Structure 1
């Protein structure tokens, strides 16, 4: 069985994001980049399935400029077998990414596709669902547990009322939630081995797709500064402020 894991290069979640002076976007100058945390969970789950003997090959794919190869090599160091870099200088939206992944799925014919449920930069939570629609595959989103069998996969997912388990026929698309697993760290020997693992480069323009996004960013602004707290003399004053100022007590 072959598992495909799309990954995305994003600003490291520990870094404070800076907005450009002209408010046209986020300033990436000298900013530490990393693999999207939800993508890390997806890679970890795919590797665990392979370690259990349920998969023979784990392939990671990333879309973007040449810098994306750093995150592909990271995934290879974690245990993935092969990498695919779809090279483009554009910033494709969720639908364009899903269409590119559809082409990769047609080429690789994986039995299971595992994605992070969303990226921490755009926060759209759309690509997995769009890919499932384009490929006609069943989908299990927000997975907190995955049980893979020969011709099906059971996905336990969190919903408002608790937990829901769905059984999907393979091939299928699964998107990962935070509770699914805790990603491992890459060891130095595996980092060295990752340099010798195959990494194929595909030029996005050669896929015959229109990658122009229909979404235009008008303005990017940083979140409002939080107001400083105040000290209260006693519980009565606290209750009064909660009731009259914060309006959390009726």
Structure 2
């Protein structure tokens, strides 16, 4: 089985700067780390490979520095690493990012199974994975909480959605987005670090893409932009309700209704 894991470097802080001219996030303006959700995606892929055989390729879009993340993935067991890196990809929103990744997957020969983390900690949209599936016209399952069965023709998963759990069996090729805490990501291996020290990381540019329509990539191909990002202010306030039990209940209902909680 050929498995592709889409991973990403994200800012190692909760503060993300916005370019005032383009409305794009300055994702690489400081220290970075591997998106935490993507570690669960990688572990899921490696565990499936151990059962079925095959290969695990890691695909990312970003600057050349993303090689550090690829090499970390090698120390966990990934077989191949590919970076989409070109100024023409810069400033991409969900639509342009997912399209570039879908094109990259085609360049490396497609996949039986594509696995993404549920979301990233910078954009936080949880849309890139499903959008890749749409670009490739393949089925997908989002918010996967458990891999229940893997066979030669399909994969069975449990999805924990907002108010319901759902079990689905999906034929290959397909895409999954993996929720956090579905597994325990393995630790890097020192032996694998030594063994993969000289393993190449493949770089793909805009010129390698099957579709070279500039209007589909980067800032030009992004119909959305980020206007503002901020952390909500935290505050605590205690409210004491007086009166009889019924009066307290009525006041509580009125209070919650006024805050549009109910």
Q: What TM-score does the superposition give when structure 1 sets the normalisation length? A: 0.83
1:99 is displaced (CA, Å) by 1.7
- 2:72 corresponds in structure 1 to 74
Residues 154 and 166 in structure 1, CA contact (< 8 A), matched pair in contact too: yes
1:62 is displaced (CA, Å) by 0.7
Residue correspondence of structure 1 range 1-250 to structure 2 within 5 A: 1-12=1-12, 15-17=13-15, 19=17, 31-52=30-51, 54-89=52-87, 90-107=90-107, 108-146=109-147, 147-207=149-209, 208-210=212-214, 211=217, 212-217=220-225, 219-227=227-235, 229=236, 247-248=255-256
1:140 is displaced (CA, Å) by 1.2
Q: Which runs of 5+ in 1 are unaligned?
A: none
1:204/1:25 Cα in 2 relative to 1: closer, same or farther (>3 Å)? closer
1:32/1:61 Cα in 2 relative to 1: closer, same or farther (>3 Å)? same
Q: Could you say what secondary structure the match of 1:72 adopts?
A: helix
Deviation readout 1:18-50 (Å, 9 max, x if unpaired): 546969666667732111111111111011111
The 2-side partners of 1:69 and 1:221 are apart by 28
Deviation readout 1:83-113 (Å, 9 max, x if unpaired): 0111123132222222222223323221111
RMSD: 3.1
Q: Could you say what secondary structure the match of 2:223 adopts?
A: coil
Greater CA drift, 100-109 or 139-148:
100-109
Residues 117 and 128 in structure 1, CA contact (< 8 A), matched pair in contact too: yes
Aligned length: 243
